[in-house]
Structure 1
Amino acid sequence: MILEVATLDVRPGQEEAFEAAFRQASSIIAGVPGYVSHQLQRCLERSSRYVLLVNWQTLEDHTVGFRGSSGYQEWKALLHHFYDPFPTVEHYTMILDGGPI
């Protein structure tokens, strides 16, 4: 499994509109083959910063499948105008899962 980590800096004052648009966009990403799960978390120290965590079965499910889909065009139209600067997106693979203590 691959973890996509995207740091999303939203234009200040646009947080509520972004969150509403993201709720709508969530169904788009959830319908993509290879999608496993996602979370959107808001930063406590910087209220206009979010982190998007998406679990994919493979890297290509995100980089080729999702980004090459018609759904991605809708995703972009809903969300990309909120970002300043454009998000940093990185992909991670599990090394150690400590589980609950």
Structure 2
Amino acid sequence: MILEAVFLYVKPELAHEFETDFAKASQYISSIDGYLRHRLEKCLEIENKYLLLVEWNTLEDHTIGFRTSEAYLEWKKILHHYYEPFPIVEHFETVFENQKNN
């Protein structure tokens, strides 16, 4: 499993519209083969900062499968105008994990 992590800085006056459009755009990313799940987190300290986390089966599911798809063009049309500056996308793989047992 590959974790895509992206800090998104949304133009402050557009935060509410961004959250609404993000929910709409989610149908496009979730339609891609190799997509597992995603979530959007809102920063508590910085009002217009979000963290997008997407889980993919492989790196190529994101970089080729999604990024070269018609679905990505729709995602881009709906969301990319909200960002200032444009985000940097990074990918991670787990090297250690721990979980509290109840």
Q: What's the TM-score, normalizing by structure 1?
A: 0.98
Aligned-residue RMSD, C-alpha: 0.7
Amino acid in structure 1 at the alignment position of 2:92: Y
Which consecutive unaligned segments of at least 5 residues does structure 2 have? Answer: none
Task: State the identity %.
Answer: 49
Amino acid in structure 2 at the alignment position of 1:21: D
Question: Matched residue pairs, number?
Answer: 101
1:1-101 matches, within 5 Å, as 1-101=1-101
Distance 1:47 1:76 in 2: 23
Q: What's the TM-score, normalizing by structure 2?
A: 0.97
Amino acid in structure 1 at the alignment position of 2:8: L
Q: Deviations over 1:39-73 (max 9, x none)?
A: 10000011100000000000000000000000000
Superposition misfits of 4+ residues, deviation over 6 angstroms: none
Distance 1:45 1:71 in 2: 32
